[in-house]
Amino acid sequence: MRSPALMLLGLLAAAPALADDLYKGSNWTALASDRKASAVGDLLTVLIITNNTASNTVAKGTKRDTAMSGNVTFGNTFDKSAGLSFGGSYDGQGSTTRADRIAAQLSATVDQVLPNGDLMISGWQQLKVNGETTNVKVSGRVRPSDIDGGNQVLSSRIADAQIDYDGKGFASRSAKPGIVTRIFRFLGLM
């Protein structure tokens, strides 16, 4: 009968360990670094924070007065004069004000690494709550230096950003104008 030490030694000798089996460089990061998105397929978190306000006021006015007059005289018996005047004025004004505030957080995937090292990203998130569906989509170009230590990037740091924030459901439908209002708007009556 063989001793346990000899059996163990035989097992170790039968299957030599190779360095390739013990170390895979793609799975190891430096001890003092953070894991940041850098290759196709990597994920990063996009923090969408926007606070937009816009207003536009237009005022226009025109006024026109035109007058014509004439006098006709024939001898001492016929003396007539006539006058004509007309005019018009228009005053119009319009004003629009819009304020948007969006705060969202979603994961995006690196779709492409550009030759200069920039990352082309895209991400999509759908949230359904009480019959309301909210879709958030984001895409654009991110510099690796704009990705923070938590693997996050602010939407304001995304170049060529396309952010789509859309919702559908009960509340969205009730916020839309009714059919009569839409017809009056189309006809220019509102």
Quote the CA–CA distance of 47 and 106 in Å, as a whole number.
Answer: 7
* Number of domains the chain contains: 1
177 in a domain, yes or no? Answer: yes
pLDDT grade for 94, boundaries at 50, 70 and 90: confident
Q: Which residue has the tokens 């991400």?
A: 123
Q: What is the pLDDT of residues 118-153, one digit of tens each?
A: 999 999 999 888 888 889 999 999 999 999 989 999
Side by side, the strands of the sheet bearing 43-74 are 152-154, 43-74, 78-113, 119-129, 132-142, 159-168
As a whole-number percent, the residues of the chain with pLDDT over 90 amount to 27
The pLDDT of residue 143 is 94
146 in a domain, yes or no? Answer: yes
135 in a domain, yes or no? Answer: yes
> Which residues constitute the domain of residue 180?
43-52+99-186
Quote the CA–CA distance of 103 and 106 in Å, as a whole number.
Answer: 10
Tokens of 1: 């009968």
The pLDDT of residue 152 is 93
Average pLDDT score, the chain: 77
The pLDDT of residue 20 is 55
Q: Where are the alpha helices (DSSP H) in the chain?
A: 4-14, 19-22, 170-175, 179-186
Q: How many CA atoms lie within 13 A of 12 on its CB side?
A: 6
